[in-house]
Amino acid sequence: GAGVSQSPRYKVAKRGQDVALRCDPISGHVSLFWYQQALGQGPEFLTYFQNEAQLDKSGLPSDRFFAERPEGSVSTLKIQRTQQEDSAVYLCASSNGGSADTQYFGPGTRLTVL
């Protein structure tokens, strides 16, 4: 079936704008994860959901970052009042939560804040 999809693939925002990034997980996957990857760095965990419940948001860097998954499938990561340091690739992953718990990643959204 289809893999994890993310939209938009590229987003350019002016500093101070709000942005919304979308993730469509693999159908039936109950777990959904968001990561932030700055240029030349490894991904950094932001938050994760089990169905619609946000079980861990310890990686969100500030209260400008907000994620939701209201119906337990599609998720949106919202960044308010974007700043230049928010420029990164935002990766979404989903998992069926089995014993192996492999996370399957989408192509990412590259956010550039000018």
Partner 1 sequence: KQEVTQIPAALSVPEGENLVLNCSFTDSAIYNLQWFRQDPGKGLTSLLLIQSSQREQTSGRLNASLDKSSGRSTLYIAASQPGDSATYLCAVRGGNNRKLIWGLGTSLAVNP
Residues that bind partner 1 (CB under 8 A): 4, 31, 33, 35, 40-45, 48, 55-56, 58-59, 91, 93, 95, 99-108
Residue 77's contacts (CB-CB under 8 Å, 6 or more residues apart) are 20, 21, 23, 34, 46, 65, 66, 67, 90, 92
Which two tokens mark 37? 């990857």
Minimum gap (Å) between residue 16 Cβ and partner 1 = 27
Q: Could you give the CA distance from residue 61 to residue 39 in angstroms, rounded to a whole number? A: 17
Q: Which is nearer to partner 1, 12 or 16 (CB)?
A: 12
**What letter would DSSP give residue 92?**
E
Pairing of strands 10-13, 109-113: parallel
Minimum gap (Å) between residue 34 Cβ and partner 1 = 10
Minimum gap (Å) between residue 48 Cβ and partner 1 = 6
Q: Which is nearer to partner 1, 82 or 95 (CB)?
A: 95
Q: Which is nearer to partner 1, 60 or 113 (CB)?
A: 60
